Amino acid sequence: MSQFPEDFYWGGAIAANQVEGAWNTDGKQASVSDIMSYKPKLDVTNFNAHHQFTTEKVIAALNDSDIQLYPKRRGIDFYHHYKDDVKLFAEMGFKVLRVSIAWTRLYPTGEESEPNEAGLKFYHSLFDELLSHGIKPLVTLHHYEMPVALALKYNGWQDRRVIGLFTRFCQTCFEQYGQKVKLWLTFNEVDSIIRHPFTTAGVLEDNCGDETFEQACYTALHHQFVAAAIVTRLCHELSEGSKMGCMLTKTMTYPYSSQPEDVAATQIKNLNNMFYSDVQMNGVYPAMMINMLRSRGIEIPLKDDDLEILANNTADFLSFSYYMTRCESVNPDLERTPGNTTLGIKNPYLKSSEWGWQIDPVGLRVSLIELYDRYRKPLFIVENGLGTRDTVTESGHIHDSYRIEYLRSHLIEVKKAISLGVDLMGYTSWGPIDLISAANSQVTKRYGFIHVDLDDMGNGTGVRRKKDSFEWYKEVIRTNGSNLE
Ligand code: BGP
């Protein structure tokens, strides 16, 4: 097979916290992302310093009403513009749109006894709008959107009781939207807990009780694994015909050289990366990882029938994000470059984006083959794209040939993997409309086919404009990828 399958899900991916805005409207309360401030000059050599939070920092942010400093609070106002935006996605021929449901719209503090009606209504309208255009929703249940209230009260996912609260939120989602949504994802980039534990799991470093901060992160991760398994079972029970995927940041690492020590160090990096999907796809903790963690004094806090729950409720498919690759070496003097919330050794064969992320289309083919060979279950690329600055010409055009080239070269590699037999369900490019970037909270790091007239401070009309890539992607979808070469 050298073509994309006939029923291939072409589309785009967004997340509530990066587009909706309206952060305290209609009963919604703050999520962890609403307290992430604008950081255009994020020092990735010390990424953790920016993403480790204390109670004091969170409370200060909650008391700060500055909307400019916290861009995710305003997003691109998708909350009020979604009908027009969905119309544009439909014009491109989208078959699927990946969105997330903000936990805080349905349960503002995570602990209400009844869901918030206005929040329920918003997502009903969004899904109805999508379906009326023939676009299927692919819904992430947890995309850096935990209620801040749960972070403060329970130290987020470190507390096992959060499993129950999240399960109740998911049950509401399945009962409310199970007829409209048949494709679901549990945790966005579940592995990101070790890179930014506060946004991924609400873990505050000063609030870990008897556990060290690192132990608290792995405790929280275990609770997320158990929760993902429980809601996978629930989803199958409550939403007939639904499929539940897990979601990994695919961070492919190459040995910088063929020196065996470089290869060995690289192997560990890659094992670490796939540890998360190993648990969610295979239903067991890999013994080698348990040993590696134990050697650092970390234990997985297994309780009762956790192992059975994990084993019996694996994900139906593996979805992943793919933006860049990196190298590894035992030589400490090699030049490093940032990636998606990571730092890696620079690959001399690759070019980088303005944000330092190394552009590697072939790495996507390698990733697809590796993941399919490892799990033998369908894959779904749910994020891929180029974040970069765009220029609007005097006549109002945006000539983003660089974006087209990035996406085209990646899709050609996807096609090669499919022709080898990789079972790929779909491809949703990240940020089909400009949105607030996750790590830096910038809008000027643009991913979209659709330009949004806003700057980093939120100045602008918010008007949507089609970039050159808009027509290009429309043609890719229309021809089912046969125009790529
Ligand atoms: C992924 C996240 C997304 C998204 C993307 C791009 O890790 O799942 O939410 O934002 O990265 O990263 P950024 O927005 O920092 O450019």
Which residue out of 340, 380, 435, 446 has the highest number of ligand 1 atoms within 8 Å of its CB and is therefore the one to mutate? 340
Amino acid code (one letter) for 452: V
Report the atom number in ligand 1 closest to the C-alpha of 15.
Answer: 9
Residue ranges and CATH numbers for the domains of the chain are 9-478 (3.20.20.80)
Residue 48 clears pLDDT 90, i.e. is over it: no
Which residue out of 383, 384, 433 has the highest number of ligand 1 atoms within 8 Å of its CB and is therefore the one to mutate? 383
Catalytic residue among 20, 129, 145, 189: 189
Question: Is there a catalytic annotation at residue 189?
Answer: yes
Looking at residue 1, its pLDDT comes to 45
d(CA 114, ligand 1 centre) in Å = 32
Question: For the residues 73-85, what does the mean pLDDT come to?
Answer: 98
Q: Are 133 and 90 in contact (CB under 8 A)?
A: yes
When comparing pLDDT for 66 and 202, which is higher? 202
Give the angle subtended at the CA of 250 by the CAs of 246 and 254, to the nearest 5°: 150
Q: What is the pLDDT of residues 240-263, one digit of tens each?
A: 999 999 999 999 999 999 999 999
Residue 85 clears pLDDT 60, i.e. is over it: yes
How much of the chain exceeds pLDDT 90, in percent? 94
Q: What is the pLDDT of residues 295-315, one digit of tens each?
A: 999 999 999 899 999 999 999
Ligand 1 within 6 A of CB of 188: yes
| Alpha-carbon torsion (298, 315, 96, 3), positive or negative | positive
Q: What is the pLDDT of residues 324-351, one digit of tens each?
A: 999 999 999 999 999 998 899 999 999 9
User: What's the pTM value of the predicted model, to 2 decimals?
Assistant: 0.98
**Where is 403: in which H helix or E strand?**
helix 401-420
Looking at residue 408, its pLDDT comes to 98
Question: For the residues 42-53, what does the mean pLDDT come to?
Answer: 73
Ligand 1 atom 7: the closest Cα is on which residue?
A: 340
Please list the alpha-helical segments (H only) found in 197-326. 197-201, 213-238, 260-277, 287-295, 306-312
Report the atom number in ligand 1 closest to the C-alpha of 144.
Answer: 9
Question: Is there a catalytic annotation at residue 211?
Answer: no
Ligand 1 within 6 A of CB of 437: yes
How much of the chain exceeds pLDDT 70, in percent? 98
Report the atom number in ligand 1 closest to the C-alpha of 189.
Answer: 8
Q: Are strands 351-352 and 358-359 parallel, antiparallel or unpaired?
A: antiparallel
Ligand 1 within 6 A of CB of 439: yes
